[in-house]
């Protein structure tokens, strides 16, 4: 095997965001672009030589080509073994599972999650550490620092390997194992949930629809729901992973998973519906004519964890991202467990999970998970819901409404303004930052500001500090408005506005969410001048 050292020059735009490096496919296809970043990963790590790493992706366009490049760079840099998913496929939660199960040194996951795919779509890459979770900021900062000065990379001249056949191969001194990416994950799910009860439910007259959006969870969902749990053939729709996700947008929300929404809100709807995203780490839960917000989903799972075998002995705590509603906080208070508020980004949950401070965690952006892996996990959340439904015999709507009756309802919505001018969006946020120090006590109609700040987080485990995590405006009645710029898009900027209002009165729980939040929606526009800065009359997506 011949190893080449290739001279290169740095790219200035390789700073990883909350979920790794995401750019358009055409950016990654530039000569040396992917190679520079991968070499920067290895240059930033210590002790990986001779160790095992895990490699796979969500099957989007450029996934296969990128895997071949990464294998050759890994071999040239002295990696001992690579476990790569058959066909290059591996969901993000499954990658975390496999890193942990095989006690691997780390993993490289290729995904742009819920972003569109195809030649004109997006691509992404991130590094996960030994606990199976996304690299913490100190690691991503080191990778970025190296990428700014890199002048060469090492790569093997070996031929491409066959990714479609389960096998053990060699590339120089490095072993390559093409593994079944589904089996280890499916076995983990069997260890957590009551598959016998779920199987009885799915083989009764209870009907479900699982939409995999032509993304990575198709093989996983078919194996688990149709094979292991005996659901009817066709239960999993859009189950074949496609490089362009069938031309769709692999984001499990009410706008982009419109086919599933039409089924669940149509005539003769199934009892339960769910969707997952590009790399399998997000989920949307639907009942018949009923949508469960991710914030409510986390709260319901926390309140009912005792019904699930893997959590029947109790949970140590729960964590939520700052923009996520406080619904889980109320459950935690009743259970007498801690509730942590973290910045957006799953890596912030990792330290809490490793220290056993929390068992469950979730984000309003359709992500929920637990200590079984160190990523959010879409199919895990679906199975958790099915386990609760099997244990209670109740409908999704009944479970959520009974939850509201016990804890009150947190009316909650997120308004996304996508692909707005980045300079204008940044100007909007800087203006808000300049306002927060003087907002306490201000009145907006019947609302009085209790506090306003730019959220900063000090990690309770390692004392690291993360600043500028979003503008919070909380009112004396418990209502909130939060403003953030998303770090997951690749074009322009996405302004996210989060709106939350708490209602303890059960007689008002059936109000339309947008109607209940209308005063806050109007106030958000008034405070932030959204139309002026975004030049948009309405959000791109409302969830």
Asked whether the beta carbons of 381 and 91 are under 8 A apart, the reply is: no
d(CA 542, CA 514): 9
Say which of 113, 158, 297, 413 is annotated catalytic.
Answer: 113
Instruction: Quote the tokens at residue 475.
Output: 């009112």
Collapsing DSSP states into helix, strand and coil, what is residue 39?
Answer: helix
- Strand order across the 338-342 sheet: 338-342, 317-321, 360-363, 367-370
Collapsing DSSP states into helix, strand and coil, what is residue 134?
Answer: strand
Asked whether the beta carbons of 264 and 234 are under 8 A apart, the reply is: no
d(CA 14, CA 333): 42
**Which strand (E) or helix (H) includes residue 167?**
strand 167-171
Non-local CB neighbours of 316 within 8 Å, separated by 6+ positions:
337, 338, 356, 357, 358, 359
Instruction: Quote the tokens at residue 493.
Output: 């900027």
Would you call 479 a catalytic residue per the annotation? Answer: no
Q: What sign results for the dihedral spanned by CA atoms 334, 338, 339, 345?
A: negative
Residue with tokens 């075998």: 309
247: left (phi over 0), alpha (psi -120 to 50) or beta: left
Non-local CB neighbours of 119 within 8 Å, separated by 6+ positions:
25, 61, 244
Helices 396-407 and 378-392, packing angle to 10 deg = 90
Asked whether the beta carbons of 319 and 339 are under 8 A apart, the reply is: yes
Would you name the residues annotated as active-site residues? 113
């Amino acid at each position: 095997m011949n190893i080449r050292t290739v001279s290169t020059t740095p790219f200035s735009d390789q700073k990883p965001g909350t979920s790794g490096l995401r750019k358009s496919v055409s950016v990654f296809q530039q000569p040396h672009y992917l190679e520079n970043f991968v070499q920067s990963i290895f240059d930033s790590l210590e002790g990986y030589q001779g160790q095992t790493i895990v490699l796979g992706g969500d099957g989007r366009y450029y996934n296969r080509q990128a895997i071949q490049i990464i294998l050759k760079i890994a071999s040239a840099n002295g990696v001992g073994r690579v476990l790569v998913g058959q066909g290059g496929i591996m969901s993000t939660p499954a990658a975390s599972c496999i890193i942990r199960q095989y006690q691997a040194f780390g993993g490289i996951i290729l995904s742009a999650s819920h972003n569109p795919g195809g030649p004109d779509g997006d691509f992404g890459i991130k590094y996960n550490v030994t606990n199976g979770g996304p690299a913490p900021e100190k690691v991503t900062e080191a990778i970025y620092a190296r990428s700014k000065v890199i002048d060469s990379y090492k790569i093997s001249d070996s031929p491409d390997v066959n990714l479609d056949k389960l096998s053990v191969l060699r590339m120089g001194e490095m072993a390559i194992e093409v593994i079944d990416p589904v089996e280890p994950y499916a076995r983990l799910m069997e260890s957590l949930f009551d598959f016998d009860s779920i199987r009885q439910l799915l083989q009764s007259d209870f009907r479900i629809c699982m939409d995999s959006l032509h993304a990575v969870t198709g093989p996983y969902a078919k194996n688990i729901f149709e094979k292991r749990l005996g659901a009817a053939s066709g239960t999993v729709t859009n189950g074949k992973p496609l490089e362009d996700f069938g031309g769709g947008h692999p984001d499990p929300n009410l706008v982009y998973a419109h086919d599933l929404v039409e089924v669940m809100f149509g005539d003769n709807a199934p009892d339960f519906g769910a969707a997952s995203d590009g790399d399998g780490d997000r989920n949307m839960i639907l009942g018949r004519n009923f949508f469960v917000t991710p914030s409510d989903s986390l709260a319901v799972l926390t309140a009912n964890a005792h019904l699930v075998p893997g959590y029947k002995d109790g949970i140590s705590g729960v964590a939520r991202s700052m923009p996520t509603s406080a619904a889980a906080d109320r459950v935690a208070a009743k259970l007498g467990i801690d509730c942590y508020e973290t910045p957006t980004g799953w890596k912030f949950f990792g330290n809490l999970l490793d220290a056993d401070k929390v068992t469950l965690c979730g984000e309003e952006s359709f992500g929920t998970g637990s200590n079984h892996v160190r990523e959010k996990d879409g199919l895990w959340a679906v199975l958790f819901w099915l386990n609760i439904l099997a244990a209670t015999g109740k409908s999704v709507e009944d479970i959520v409404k009974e939850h509201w009756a016990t804890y009150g309802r947190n009316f909650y919505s997120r308004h996304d303004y996508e692909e707005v001018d980045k300079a204008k969006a940044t100007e909007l946020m800087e203006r808000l930052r300049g306002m927060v120090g003087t907002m306490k006590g201000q009145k907006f109609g019947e609302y009085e500001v209790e506090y306003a700040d730019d959220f900063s987080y000090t990690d309770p485990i390692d004392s690291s500090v993360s600043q500028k995590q979003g503008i919070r405006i909380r009112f004396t009645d418990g209502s909130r408005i939060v403003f953030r710029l998303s770090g997951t898009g690749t074009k322009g900027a996405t302004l996210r506005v989060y709106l939350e209002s708490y209602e303890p009165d059960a007689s008002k729980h059936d109000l339309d969410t947008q109607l209940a939040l209308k005063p806050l929606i109007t106030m958000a526009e008034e405070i932030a001048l959204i139309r002026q800065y975004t030049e948009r009359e309405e959000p791109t997506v409302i969830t």
